[in-house]
Amino acid sequence: MGIREGDRVMVNLAPFIGSKLRTGQSIACRVTAVEGDHVQVTTEFPYRSVTLWIPPGWIEPGHSDRLEETAVAAVS
């Protein structure tokens, strides 16, 4: 699964609204924990702070950044 605590990811809107079907929208989140086959994510500003445990399938592919990489880019 390649997702680690501290990653910034785009999560499909569906788990936030209780839908079983994917939507066309995503929300920026930080991964706050990884346990087995579930990931805990917390929404980022400008969204209200919400923390959810989700299966990794809700994370949009190709939309994750490592905190360390983001911090290095910000300093450069």
What is the tens place of the pLDDT at every residue in 4-14? 999 999 999 99
Residue 66 lies inside a defined structural domain of this protein: yes
- Which has more pLDDT, 26 or 68? 26
Angle at the Cα of 5 (from 17 to 65), degrees rounded to 5? 80
Average confidence score pLDDT of the chain: 86
Q: Is this model's pTM higher than 0.85 or not?
A: no
Give yes or no for a cis peptide into 46 (omega within 30° of 0): yes
Identify which of 73, 27, 22 has the alpha carbon closest to the alpha carbon of residue 52.
Answer: 27
Q: Tally the domains of the chain.
A: 1
On whether the CB atoms of residues 65 and 37 are closer than 8 A, the answer is no
What is the tens place of the pLDDT at every residue in 14-59? 999 999 999 999 999 999 999 999 999 999 999 999 999 999 999 9
On whether the CB atoms of residues 59 and 39 are closer than 8 A, the answer is yes
Residue-range definition of the domain harbouring residue 21: 8-75
